[in-house]
Amino acid sequence: MNQPRIPDPESIYLRLPIPLQHVACSYVGWRTERTRYGRDFDHLLAEAELRSSWTQEQTEDFRDRRLRETIEYCGQNVPYYQTLWQQHGVDPASVRGLADLERIPILSKADAQDAGSKLFSLVDATSPTRMAHTSGTTGGALRFPVSLRATQEQWAVWWRFRGWHGIRKGIWSGLFAGRSIVPAGQTKPPFWRINRPGRQILFSGYHMSEQNLGSYVGALRRYRPPWLHGYPSLLSLLASYVLENGLDLGYSLRWVTTGAENLMPHQIAIIEQAFGIKPLQHYGMAEGVANVSECEHGGLHVDEDYAAVEFIGDDDSPGCRVVGTGFANRAAVFVRYDTQDLAVLSRDRSCSCGRPGRLLERIDGRLEDYVVLVSGARVGRMDHIFKDMVNIREAQIRQRRQGEMTILVVRGDAYTDHDERALLGETRKRVGEDMRVSIEYVSRLTRSSTGKLRFVVSEMTPS
C-alpha cells in the first residue's frame, strides 16, 4: 500500500500568499537567530575579538594547542580516524603543530561522502546539533551534524570580521543569495521577502532580469538598508544595471560584504563604481575547516584561531590548495579536508592593521559563470540545486544557448530514478518551467589544468 506523499516545507511555502511568505521568512529568521546567537554567542564573540589583539606567536600557539586537542579527540572518539590512522601508522601524539599534519592523509570530499557517519563523534552523538549540508563547486553533497556551540563559534568569528568594519548585529541588510524565496514563475514584484527578526530584506537571486532589476533598485530606495550582503555575482549584476542605466540608490550605502563565491577584481570595480564603496570579502564554509577575513586595510587574514589551514602548492598550479582542519565542531570532524579551492599567499608577513594571521594575496576558488534563463535573467551560484543530492558524486552545468542547460552527473552507487526526479524538481524551482533542462550521465568530469572543476561552464557566444 502506497503511503501518502507529504509535501516538503519549501513547496508549501512557495504556494502561500505573499503576506504569509513574509511571515514564514520571519519565523525562519527567528529560529535562525536562536540557533546562531544562543547563550554562548556573546561570550564566544568577546573571546574572538580579544584574540584580534594577540601577537602572531600567541595566535599560533593557540592554534597548535587546539589542533593537538582535536587530533587527540579524533583518535579517541571518531571511528573513521581510528581506522585510518591505524592503517597509516599515525600516532596522534606526534602531531604537535601545523607542520606535523603532513603525516595524516588528506581527506577528499569523495572520502568524506564514502565515510558518512564514521566521521561523526561517538561522544557527541546525543549533544544538541543541527544538520548541515553542502554542495560546493563539484555538486557532490555532504550532510553532517554541527553542534550548537560550533555554530555559534563560527558566527562569532564571522561577526568579528564584520565588527572590524563597524557592522553590528541589528543593522538592516539587503541579502542577495541563492535561496528560493520567490516562486520561479512570479513575473511581477515584489521579488523580495522580509525577515524582521534577522533585519534582512531577502532578494531573490533568480528574478534579476533586465525587466525586473528596476524594481530591485526601487525596493532599495524604499527600505534604504545601509548594508548589502550576498554573492558577488548577484551584487555585481545589480551594480552593472545601476551603472548601465545611470541610476543611483538615492542614499549612501555604508557596507557591501560578499561570501560564498570568489570576489573577482572586475566585480570589485563595478560594485565600487556603482555604490561608492569597496566590497569586503569573507571566505568560509559549512565544513568549518578554513576562514579568511578582510580587514579595513584590505588584508586577507587567515583566522588561525578557528582552524588549522594548510596551503599546499605544486608546480602545475598557480595557487595553493586550501586544506583545513576544523576545531569547533566535535559532532563531525574534518581533518585535512581538501576544500577544492585555491589561494595565493601574500609575500607580506604582517598587515598594517596589526592583527595576527597569515595573509593571502587572493582566493582563486569558486569561480562560477552565470546560467542565462529564457527571460534573459542571469543566475549564479546554482549549486543549491544539489544541496541534498547525496547520491550524486559530481555534477556540472553546461550552457550553449540561452534558455537551455545540460546537467552532467557522475552517479553514486545508490543513485536511482528518484534522485533524477528530485534533481529536475529542484532545478525547476530555480530556473522555471520554460527552461529546457536535460541530464547527461558521465563517468567523469573534465577538470582544468589546476585540477579545479568549474561548476558552471558557459559556452554561449557573447552578445
- Amino acid making up residue 403: G
Q: What is the pLDDT of residues 12-40, one digit of tens each?
A: 998 999 999 999 999 999 999 999 999 89
What's the confidence (pLDDT) of residue 55? 96
Cell of 73: 579527540
Q: Give, in order, the Cα–Cα distances in Å from 417 to each of 330, 388, 389, 437.
A: 35, 15, 12, 16
What's the confidence (pLDDT) of residue 172? 98
pTM: 0.82
Cβ 52 vs Cβ 305: under 8 Å:
no
Q: What is the pLDDT of residues 95-150, one digit of tens each?
A: 999 999 999 999 999 899 999 999 999 886 556 788 888 765 445 678 999 999 99
List, in order of start, the domains of the chain with CATH numbers. 38-160+284-363 (3.40.50.12780), 368-458 (3.30.300.30)
What's the confidence (pLDDT) of residue 367? 42
Could you tell me which residues are beta bridge partners of residue 175?
Answer: 202, 229
Handedness of CA 117, 343, 394, 182 (dihedral sign): positive
Handedness of CA 372, 375, 381, 385 (dihedral sign): negative
What's the confidence (pLDDT) of residue 451? 46
Work out the average pLDDT over 194-217: 94
Q: What is the pLDDT of residues 343-402, one digit of tens each?
A: 889 999 999 999 999 999 988 765 455 788 988 887 765 767 876 776 887 788 999 999
Question: pLDDT confidence of 408, banded at 50, 70, 90?
Answer: very high
Q: Specify the DSSP class assigned to residue 120.
A: B
Cell of 257: 560584504
CB atoms within 10 A of CB 399: 18
Q: What is the pLDDT of residues 266-321, one digit of tens each?
A: 788 889 999 999 999 999 989 999 999 999 999 999 999 999 999 998 654 557 88
Q: Give, in order, the Cα–Cα distances in Å from 59 to each of 80, 153, 305, 314, 447.
A: 29, 17, 6, 27, 37
Q: What is the pLDDT of residues 75-99, one digit of tens each?
A: 999 999 999 999 999 999 999 999 9
| Angle of helix 265-275 versus helix 232-244 axis, rounded to 10 | 50
What's the confidence (pLDDT) of residue 450? 40
Work out the average pLDDT over 392-413: 87
Residues with Cβ < 8 Å from 158, sequence gap 6 or more? 282, 284, 291
Residues with Cβ < 8 Å from 18, sequence gap 6 or more? 190, 193
Q: Which has more pLDDT, 371 or 229?
A: 229
Question: At 22, which helix (H) or strand (E)?
Answer: helix 18-36
Q: Is the pLDDT of residue 440 over 60?
A: yes
| C-alpha to C-alpha distance for 192 and 173, rounded to whole angstroms | 12
What's the confidence (pLDDT) of residue 156? 98
- Nearest partner of 457 among 365, 362, 392, 382, judged by Cα: 382
Q: What percent of the chain has pLDDT over 90?
A: 64
Cell of 320: 595553493
Q: What is the pLDDT of residues 6-19, one digit of tens each?
A: 667 788 998 999 99
Residue 460 has phi, psi (to 5 degrees) of -75, 145
What's the confidence (pLDDT) of residue 449? 46
Mean pLDDT value across the chain = 89
Quick check: bond before 190 cis, omega within 30?
A: yes
